[in-house]
Copies of this chain bind each other. A is one copy, B any other.
Amino acid sequence: MAAGMNNRAIRLAHGGGGRYTQQLIEDVLLPILGNPVLDPLDDSAVFPMPGARLAFTTDSFVVHPIFFPGGDIGRLAVCGTVNDLAAVGAKPVFLSLGLILEEGFSMDDLKRIALSVKSTADEAGVRIAAGDTKVVEKGHCDQLFINTAGIGVFDGTHPVSGSGAKPGDRILVNGSLGRHGMAIVTARTELGFSDRILSDAAPLGLLVETVLKSVPEVHAMRDATRGGLAAVLNEIAGRSGVGMELDEETLPLDEDVRGACELLGFDPLYVANEGVMVFFIPENRAGDALSAMKTSPYGRSATAIGRVTADSEGRVVLKTRLGSRRIVDMPSGEQLPRIC
């Protein structure tokens, strides 16, 4: 190591493909993330993968701040991709991890995030199979960005699409709304909320597996991330050619989130979640699906929030507490940037 070189911070040389890249991978990342699939460090991971169908997805994470109440960008990067795989009915198996680091980024923070990736991956039952690290000059990215791509298998389950909602379906969610977005927003503000709102970031693969085992006839699923519940419902309504009716009274909202939304002028229907899956279930199976969810730590406040209708195609309507009806439109214009 050159004299005076600071090994507590990321340097451009860590991205150069030479000795420092090797050191970063072997001394910092591999001791935390290593496993038999990743360890060979070949250009690609190679693994047995029997089965006739796979799921494949990708997601980049640029959340700011990178540490927030209830999680960090590492936990988020695992949960986001795990949940995208779960949303099509697949069992998440392998993730890739692409890091873009800013020159000068703290090595300690990198380790902290790698540990978070590792513990979340362990919780979700997935392995980091492949990785890549790039470094850009100070000021050319913001601390770090993470991309995770993921592979899932259909292991006793079948693919569930986002366009299969049918009139009469009950709309279920596994947990309360708006936690992740409001955790980020309140972490950014100087308002000094007395209690920090914790993000709901959670890997939902096991919860979804439990629901699919109990109720294989799930018509559609989607995790309600950017754009919140409103974006997901509008998308599925449009793609399924159906309408939807929500009952405001049944929407699960925690008091801290409700208070922060009121204070800051957010509609919780439009606030991002990172641990909320939306299910469309035939009415006569909705109770079973709710019971299945409640066996999961992330499904204890599972609840039905509305139903799919045959009229008003592609439109989502909210029945308010006062009995009036308003349209819940697709979010447009500026959303909160860098929520995930």
Q: Give me the interface of A with B, judged by CB distance under 8 Å.
A: 2, 11-13, 15-22, 40-62, 83-85, 87-88, 90, 94, 96-100, 129-132, 134-137, 139-142, 145, 147, 149-152, 154, 159, 161-163, 222-223, 225-227, 231, 235, 239, 270, 272, 330-338, 340
The docked-state distance in angstroms from the alpha carbon of A59 to that of B43 is 10
Q: Which residues of B contact A61 (CB under 8 A)?
A: 134
Known A-B contacts: A18-B335, A149-B149. Give 12 more (CB < 8 A). Answer: A16-B226, A18-B231, A18-B330, A22-B330, A44-B88, A46-B90, A47-B54, A54-B151, A56-B96, A56-B130, A60-B147, A134-B338
Q: Which residues of B contact A59 (CB under 8 A)?
A: 98, 132
* Whole-angstrom distance between the Cβ of A280 and the nearest chain B Cβ: 13
Q: Are A85 and B44 in contact (CB under 8 A)?
A: yes
Q: Which residues of B contact A13 (CB under 8 A)?
A: 332-335
**Residue from B98, B330, B333 within 8 A of A2 (CB atoms):** B333
Chain B, Cβ-Cβ closest to A330: B19
14 A-B residue pairs with Cβ-Cβ distance under 8 Å, sorted by A, are: A15-B335, A16-B227, A17-B231, A18-B270, A18-B332, A42-B87, A43-B85, A46-B88, A58-B97, A60-B99, A61-B134, A62-B140, A98-B147, A141-B141
* Closest 10 pairs between A and B when the two form their complex, measured CB to CB: A17-B226, A16-B335, A18-B331, A149-B149, A17-B227, A58-B96, A44-B57, A147-B147, A19-B332, A43-B87
The docked-state distance in angstroms from the alpha carbon of A45 to that of B8 is 40
Question: A12-B334, A226-B17, A331-B19 known; A40 and B163 CB under 8 Å?
Answer: yes
Q: Which residues of B contact A145 (CB under 8 A)?
A: 100, 141, 145
The docked-state distance in angstroms from the alpha carbon of A62 to that of B100 is 8
Q: Are A137 and B60 in contact (CB under 8 A)?
A: no
Q: Are A272 and B140 in contact (CB under 8 A)?
A: no
The docked-state distance in angstroms from the alpha carbon of A52 to that of B48 is 5
Q: Are A149 and B130 in contact (CB under 8 A)?
A: yes
Q: Are B60 and A49 in contact (CB under 8 A)?
A: no
Q: Are A62 and B136 in contact (CB under 8 A)?
A: yes
Chain B, Cβ-Cβ closest to A228: B17
Chain B, Cβ-Cβ closest to A160: B42
Chain B, Cβ-Cβ closest to A331: B18
The docked-state distance in angstroms from the alpha carbon of A132 to that of B239 is 19
Q: Which residues of B contact A44 (CB under 8 A)?
A: 55-57, 84-85, 87-88, 90, 150, 152
**Residue from B16, B53, B141, B150 within 8 A of A142 (CB atoms):** B141
